């Protein structure tokens, strides 16, 4: 086994050639290049120390590409460690499972790979299998003693499967006695996950196996609240049929029917009105409930029109001063300015970064990444309105960009416009339903929205925007 104190080789063309040979499963070339890299430390250590920029070595790459013969050479002849971690904390077993390399995964476990090891997000191989709906792999892992209830910061494998809308995986795990009411660290359950993602099939399975429908997470909000807020009528009906209580109030004192009316969802109000006990202060008719809640909620905050116009004028002026055609020279200058902006962000000089990204937009006004990155600078400078203008312009250029939806939600949270923030985060969830960052962001914004009713209040949670969250 290679020494844990060994020093990684510099990522040079020769190391890249070695790693490419691994990917291709070319054992002869692999050995030849490895011998050329060996500076006296020995073949095993040389091979163990050859890694890419993500900290992935030969065994990682052989695993992800399903090159079992290479794996055998590395483990049986060179005696390398079977569980090395890359920079994200992922082992070869994680990568093989994630790539659905079933035979490679089985081989690694047979050679002693630990299926209980978690990556930096707390996920085990069983989570990977559950999230991808890989029944064969889950069956194998459980036969080898994997813990079906292993918890991570993102919940149990069942929670992960439900949140990824993997109906067959949910059914398999429930049949193997996974707890349908297991809670995450923030007290969410698999049923919450299925409701948030809008998976009616997973929801029905969980209810069938005993999942509780009348639960709430800290800060308020029941599954029925979430379904009502999202506006999923099928999920609302399913929860009501399972005896979800429509009279439970959230922290703001509102019932699901009030949330539906507040959101202008007449169809949801129609479903809930016959199930909800009358509220004396509200005229109890369809129109009465709708009008009352719309009036109580009041008009949402005005859009930052003046700021938007200022930014548009500034961008138009900048664009007119630059080349009208995106020549190769202009693109090169835009790329150079973007690099200056990225470097300025890394040293926390957001004013310099703003100037650099604005210069870049003068050369390439149609690049949404420049607006995306500039919005980050505005947020870090506390200028949420400017950030919102930029990120909305970014979304106009690239409507299907989930990260931009999430950035829009962060800006709206800073402006304490919680209803709109929750809507933006939910758009991100719909575009990338496997992102737990987006799901959790939606959940937090939803809590604030139901708590404060979309009004200006101090948020119970701060908007978290990573300052290294630039466009790649």
Q: How high is the pLDDT of residue 454?
A: 46
Query: Is 315 in the same domain as 427?
Result: yes
Q: How high is the pLDDT of residue 441?
A: 84
Query: Is 284 in the same domain as 364?
Result: no
Question: In this predicted model, what pLDDT tens digit does every residue of 216-228 receive, in sequence order?
Answer: 876 568 999 989 9
Query: Is 310 in the same domain as 240?
Result: no
Question: In this predicted model, what pLDDT tens digit does every residue of 62-72 receive, in sequence order?
Answer: 999 999 999 99
Instruction: Evaluate whether residue 152 is within a structural domain.
Output: no
Query: Is 362 in the same domain as 291?
Result: no
Instruction: Evaluate whether residue 186 is within a structural domain.
Output: no
141 versus 218: the higher-pLDDT residue is 141
55: left (phi over 0), alpha (psi -120 to 50) or beta: left
Query: Is 309 in the same domain as 282?
Result: no
317 versus 299: the higher-pLDDT residue is 317
Q: How high is the pLDDT of residue 468?
A: 47
Last-in-domain residue among 280, 298, 316:
298
353 versus 160: the higher-pLDDT residue is 160
Report the CATH number that the domain containing residue 87 is assigned in CATH: 1.25.40.20
Query: Is 241 in the same domain as 319?
Result: no
* Whole-number average pLDDT of the chain: 84
Query: Is 358 in the same domain as 423?
Result: yes
Query: Is 339 in the same domain as 382?
Result: yes
Instruction: Evaluate whether residue 443 is within a structural domain.
Output: yes
Domains of the chain: total: 3
314 versus 329: the higher-pLDDT residue is 329
Last-in-domain residue among 49, 81, 114:
114
Query: Is 448 in the same domain as 311?
Result: yes
Q: How high is the pLDDT of residue 185?
A: 79
Last-in-domain residue among 63, 87, 114:
114
Backbone angles phi, psi at 435, to 5 degrees: -85, 110
Instruction: Evaluate whether residue 241 is within a structural domain.
Output: yes
**Parent domain of 331:** 305-452
The count of C-alpha atoms lying within 13 angstroms of the C-alpha of 347, restricted to the half-sphere facing its C-beta, is 9
Instruction: Evaluate whether residue 137 is within a structural domain.
Output: no
Instruction: Evaluate whether residue 12 is within a structural domain.
Output: yes
Say if residue 462's pLDDT is above 60. Answer: no
Confidence of residue 299 (pLDDT cuts 50, 70, 90): very low
Residue 440 CA, chain-centre distance (Å), reads 8
């Amino acid at each position: 086994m290679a020494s844990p104190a060994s020093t990684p080789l510099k990522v040079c063309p020769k190391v890249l050639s070695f790693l490419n040979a691994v990917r291709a499963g070319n054992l002869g070339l692999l050995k030849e290049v490895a011998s050329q890299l060996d500076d006296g430390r020995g073949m095993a250590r040389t091979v163990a120390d050859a890694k890419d920029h993500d900290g992935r070595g030969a065994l990682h790459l052989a695993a992800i590409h399903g090159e079992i013969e290479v794996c055998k050479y590395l483990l049986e002849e060179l005696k390398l460690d079977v569980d090395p971690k890359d920079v994200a904390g992922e082992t070869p077993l994680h990568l093989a499972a994630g790539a659905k390399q079933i035979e490679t995964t089985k081989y690694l476990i047979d050679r002693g790979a630990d299926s209980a090891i978690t990556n930096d997000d707390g996920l085990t191989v069983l989570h990977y299998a559950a999230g991808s709906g890989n029944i064969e792999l889950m069956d194998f892992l459980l036969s080898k003693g994997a813990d079906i209830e292993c918890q991570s910061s993102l919940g149990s494998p069942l929670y992960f499967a439900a949140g990824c809308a993997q109906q067959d995986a949910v059914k398999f795990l429930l049949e193997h006695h996974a707890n349908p009411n297991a809670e995450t660290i923030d007290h969410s359950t698999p049923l919450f996950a299925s409701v948030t993602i809008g998976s009616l099939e997973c929801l029905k399975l969980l209810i069938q196996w005993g999942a509780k429908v009348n639960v709430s997470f800290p800060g308020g909000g029941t599954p029925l609240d979430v379904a009502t807020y999202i506006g999923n009528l099928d999920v609302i009906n399913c929860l009501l049929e399972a005896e979800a209580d429509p009279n439970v109030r959230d922290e703001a004192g509102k019932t699901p029917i009030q949330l539906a009316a507040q959101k202008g969802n007449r169809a949801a109000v129609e479903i809930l009105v016959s199930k909800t006990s009358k509220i004396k202060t509200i005229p109890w008719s369809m129109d009465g409930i709708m009008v009352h809640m719309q009036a109580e909620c009041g008009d949402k905050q005005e859009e930052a029109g003046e700021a938007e116009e200022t930014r548009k004028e500034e961008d138009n002026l900048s664009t007119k001063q630059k080349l009208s055609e995106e020549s190769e020279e202009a693109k090169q200058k835009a790329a150079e300015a973007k690099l200056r902006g990225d470097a300025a962000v890394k040293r926390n000089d957001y004013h310099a970064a703003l100037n650099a990204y604005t210069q870049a937009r003068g050369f390439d006004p149609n690049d949404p990444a420049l607006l995306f990155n500039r919005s980050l600078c505005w947020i870090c400078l506390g200028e949420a309105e400017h950030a919102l203008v930029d990120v909305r312009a970014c979304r106009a250029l690239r409507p299907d960009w989930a990260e931009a939806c999430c950035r829009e939600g962060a800006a709206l949270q800073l402006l304490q416009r919680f209803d709109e923030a929750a809507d933006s985060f939910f758009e991100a969830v719909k575009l990338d339903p496997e992102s737990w960052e987006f799901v959790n962001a939606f959940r937090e914004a939803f809590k604030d929205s139901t708590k404060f009713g979309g009004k200006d209040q101090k948020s119970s949670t701060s908007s978290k925007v990573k300052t290294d969250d630039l466009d790649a």
